[in-house]
Amino acid sequence: MPGPETVVYGGNTPCVEVRIGKRLIILDAGTGITNLGSKLMQEPGPICGDIFITHAHWDHIQGFPFFQPAFREGNSFSLYGEGKGNISFAALIKRTMRHPHFPVPLENLGAALYFTEIEPGDTLELGDGITVQTAANNHPDGGISYRIQYGNKSCCYVTDYEHGSEKAQELLKLCNGTDLLIYDAFFTAAEYPRYQGWGHSTWEEGLALLEAAGAGRLILFHHKPERRDEEMAALEASVISQYPMARAAREGMVISL
C-alpha cells in the first residue's frame, strides 16, 4: 500500500533481507523484493541467494516477477517452500508467471533457479555454519515459520500466524532464546475477536511469545493494509510502553545482531 500515508512504516508486502557475511537470505518475495532487487543490482555480481517462502498467498510471492536479479544470467537463487496438495512448490511459483498473468515464463528468466520443497519441522544446513529451522503456521492454507541460526545469533520470522492453536508449542520451541522475533501483528487486540480464524495475530500475543521463549527484540510485522502511519505510530508507542526493545517494522529498517 505505498502512498503518502504509509511513507514512515512502508507500504510493501512482506520481504526481509538477511545478511550473514557474504551470504544472502531473503524471507518472502512480496512487493518489497522489487526494491531489494534494485539495490542488489548495484552490487558487484554475480548475485546468489536463498529465498524462503512462508506460503503462496499473493502478498508473499507477488514481487518475484519484478525481482530484477532473477532476469540476469550468471545469478542463481535457491527457493524453498511448501507444496500444496498435488501441486509442487515449484509449480506454485511457476503458475503465477504464466500467460495471461505474466508475459515472461519462469523458465525464461536469465538466472539459475533451484527449487527445494520443504515441510514444516525440517531443518536445513545452508553451509557456512548457517542453519534454518522451521515450524508450521496456524494460517489458512498453512505456512512456515523460519529460524535462521549462525553461531550463537539467531532471528525468527513468524508471519501469517494466528496464536492459540495446537501449533503454538512447536513455534515456542522454534523461538526459544532467539535474539530477534519478527512477529505477525496484523490485528489490534480490539479488532482480533471479529477476525478469529483469519490466520493473523496481535502484538500482545507477540510479546507473550517473546517472554515465554526468552527472546530478545520484538519487531511487529505484516501491518494491516489499511493501517496508516499515524495509527502505526500509536500502535508502536503502545508496545514500546510495555517492552522498550519492541519496534514496528518499517521500510528499509536495518537491525544488526
Q: Interface with Zn ion by CB under 5 A: which residues?
A: 57, 59, 160
When the beta carbons of 36 and 61 are compared against Zn ion, the nearer one is 61
Dist CA 62 CA 65 (whole Å): 7
When the beta carbons of 109 and 222 are compared against Zn ion, the nearer one is 222
Q: How far is the CB of 188 from Zn ion (least distance, A)?
A: 17
When the beta carbons of 147 and 223 are compared against Zn ion, the nearer one is 223
Q: How far is CA 219 from CA 178, 225, 243, in A?
A: 12, 17, 11
Residues 6+ apart with CB under 8 A from 223: 9, 185, 186, 232, 248, 249
Q: How far is the CB of 77 from Zn ion (least distance, A)?
A: 21
Beta bridge partners of 156: 147, 181
Q: How far is the CB of 46 from Zn ion (least distance, A)?
A: 30
When the beta carbons of 139 and 147 are compared against Zn ion, the nearer one is 139
Dist CA 184 CA 16 (whole Å): 13
Q: How far is the CB of 139 from Zn ion (least distance, A)?
A: 6
Dist CA 61 CA 125 (whole Å): 24
Cell 512462508: give the residue: 54
When the beta carbons of 141 and 230 are compared against Zn ion, the nearer one is 141
When the beta carbons of 125 and 226 are compared against Zn ion, the nearer one is 226
Name the closest residue to Zn ion (Cβ): 57
When the beta carbons of 59 and 236 are compared against Zn ion, the nearer one is 59
Residues 6+ apart with CB under 8 A from 227: 9, 235
Q: What is the DSSP letter of 12?
A: P
Dist CA 243 CA 207 (whole Å): 8
Q: How far is the CB of 56 from Zn ion (least distance, A)?
A: 9
Q: How far is the CB of 59 from Zn ion (least distance, A)?
A: 4
Rg for the chain, CA atoms, rounded: 18
Q: How far is the CB of 131 from Zn ion (least distance, A)?
A: 25
Please choose, from the candidates 78, 81, 85, 61, the residue with its C-alpha nearest in 3D space to the C-alpha of residue 145: 81
Dist CA 68 CA 225 (whole Å): 25
